[in-house]
């Protein structure tokens, strides 16, 4: 079976590629020339070069593939050009879905995010059917992913066999860039975490997320959504586990939102108008922290058979990978 994977060089995408190869399947990865291919080194894959913003290249590279995993996304909580987020996340998704329809592929798995789902924010876990509108989306990244998910919903309603998966917060090895969550782990290991905000995340092993994608392809119902997550945790709980793994003390000082938010506004303004480099504290990230981003993955566990690797193991694998690959520069 030939599989077409977008975002294959990324954190989640490369884990999907490895799962498919482990099943003995053929994989065509859709990548841009000049990209960072460290996560694909040594893998038995076919590289198809193109750009999601060029629909013709998407269709040409997808031709001959029976199944499509659209895992590519511009994941940034700050961007000097917000329009680029919409071009990649919304326009790119439209291009992939249109090509899949024209080529009559067997099935598509679209990688969304729990950030596009409804979430009460008070500690009550969000579900696939929790009410939500675009007005609930904080920042350009979440808005673009919400809009992209709606394109997948519309395509499924029009008859394209699309399954939507909503990963929560994956952690683990091969976070080469790293992601915002990986950066948080790395900052902790570098001794840069002196305080924390009162917030929460749903943590999941990145390889479980990849397995969830493959299971969604095998067993997922077109038009349905599946939360690929595991355990709801406060930020303090995450740091305490990391402390046990690394031997470093977890921060004890809890900063109030009212103190951090003005700093984030100032930091983001400096990035927007002066440095044009990512801010120390993106205002979108701080605004998101007001909610406990807790989610219920029971549908994916029940209907797909998604594994639930202990989050301690996932955090430990992430920490070891950062250490083994020279990312940790500060105190050990």
For the residues 175-201, what does the mean pLDDT come to? 92
**Cis peptide bond prior to 120, omega within 30° of 0:** no
Identify the bridge partners of residue 196 per DSSP, sorted by sequence position.
254
What whole-number distance in Å separates Cα of residue 313 and Cα of residue 203? 11
Instruction: For residue 267, give Cα distances in angstroms to 150, 196, 284.
Output: 32, 17, 11
For the residues 159-176, what does the mean pLDDT come to? 98
Token pair of 284, please?
């979108």
Q: What is the DSSP secondary structure assignment for residue 135, as one 8-state letter? A: G
Q: What is the pLDDT of residues 281-294, one digit of tens each?
A: 787 778 778 789 99
Which own/partner contact pairs does 258-266 have at CB distance under 8 Å and 24+ positions apart?
260/197, 260/286, 260/289, 261/286, 261/287
Beta strands in the chain (DSSP E): 2-6, 26-31, 46-49, 67-70, 107-111, 162-167, 169-171, 195-197, 200-205, 225-228, 231-234, 253-255
Q: Pairing mode, if any, of strands 231-234 and 26-31?
A: unpaired
Identify the bridge partners of residue 5 per DSSP, sorted by sequence position.
29, 69
For the residues 218-242, what does the mean pLDDT come to? 97
pLDDT at 18 over 70: yes
pLDDT of amino acid 330: 65
Q: What is the pLDDT of residues 58-115, one digit of tens each?
A: 999 999 999 999 999 988 777 788 898 999 999 999 999 999 999 999 999 999 999 9
| Rg of the Cα atoms in the chain | 19
pLDDT of amino acid 331: 54
Close Cβ partners of 62 (under 8 Å, ≥ 6 residues apart): 4, 28, 30, 48, 68, 96, 99, 100, 103, 105
pLDDT of amino acid 121: 86
* Angle, CA of 207, 213 and 215, to the nearest 5°: 100
What whole-number distance in Å separates Cα of residue 183 and Cα of residue 190? 10
Mean pLDDT check: name the lowest of 8-22, 43-57, 138-152, 261-275.
Answer: 261-275
- Indicate the pTM of the whole model: 0.95
Which domains, ranges and CATH numbers included, belong to the chain? 2-176+205-230+294-309 (3.40.50.720)
Identify the bridge partners of residue 201 per DSSP, sorted by sequence position.
233
What whole-number distance in Å separates Cα of residue 19 and Cα of residue 213? 9
Which own/partner contact pairs does 234-238 have at CB distance under 8 Å and 24+ positions apart?
234/198, 234/199, 234/200, 234/292, 235/196, 235/197, 235/198, 235/199, 235/200, 235/201, 236/196, 236/198, 238/201, 238/203, 238/315
């Amino acid at each position: 079976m030939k599989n077409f994977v977008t975002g294959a060089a990324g954190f989640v995408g490369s884990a999907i590629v490895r799962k498919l190869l482990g099943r003995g399947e053929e994989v065509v990865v859709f990548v841009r020339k000049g990209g960072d291919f460290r996560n694909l080194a040594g893998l038995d894959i076919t590289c198809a070069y193109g750009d999601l913003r060029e629909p013709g290249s998407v269709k040409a590279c997808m031709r001959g593939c029976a199944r499509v995993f659209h895992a590519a996304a511009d994941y940034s909580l700050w961007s000097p050009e917000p329009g680029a987020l919409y071009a990649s996340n919304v326009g790119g998704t439209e291009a992939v879905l249109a090509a899949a329809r024209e080529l009559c592929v067997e099935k598509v798995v679209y990688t969304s995010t729990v950030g596009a789902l409804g979430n009460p924010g008070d500690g009550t876990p969000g579900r696939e059917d929790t009410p939500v509108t675009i007005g609930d989306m904080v920042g350009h990244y979440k808005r673009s992913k919400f809009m992209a998910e709606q394109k997948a919903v519309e395509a499924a309603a029009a008859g394209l066999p699309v399954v939507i998966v909503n990963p929560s917060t994956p952690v683990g090895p091969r976070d080469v860039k790293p992601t915002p969550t990986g950066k948080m782990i790395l900052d902790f290991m570098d001794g840069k975490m002196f305080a924390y905000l009162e917030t929460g995340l749903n943590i999941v092993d990145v390889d479980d997320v990849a397995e969830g994608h493959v299971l969604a392809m095998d067993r997922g119902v077109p038009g349905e959504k599946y939360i690929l997550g595991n355990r709801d945790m406060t930020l303090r709980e995450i740091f305490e586990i990391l402390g046990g793994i690394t031997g470093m003390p977890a921060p004890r000082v809890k900063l109030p939102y009212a103190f951090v938010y003005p700093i984030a506004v100032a930091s983001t303004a400096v990035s927007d108008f002066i440095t044009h480099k990512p801010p120390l504290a993106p205002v979108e990230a701080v605004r998101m922290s007001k909610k406990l981003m807790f989610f219920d993955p029971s549908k994916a566990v029940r209907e797909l058979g998604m594994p639930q690797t202990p989050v301690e193991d996932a955090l430990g694998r992430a920490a070891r990978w950062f250490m083994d690959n020279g990312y940790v520069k500060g105190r050990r």
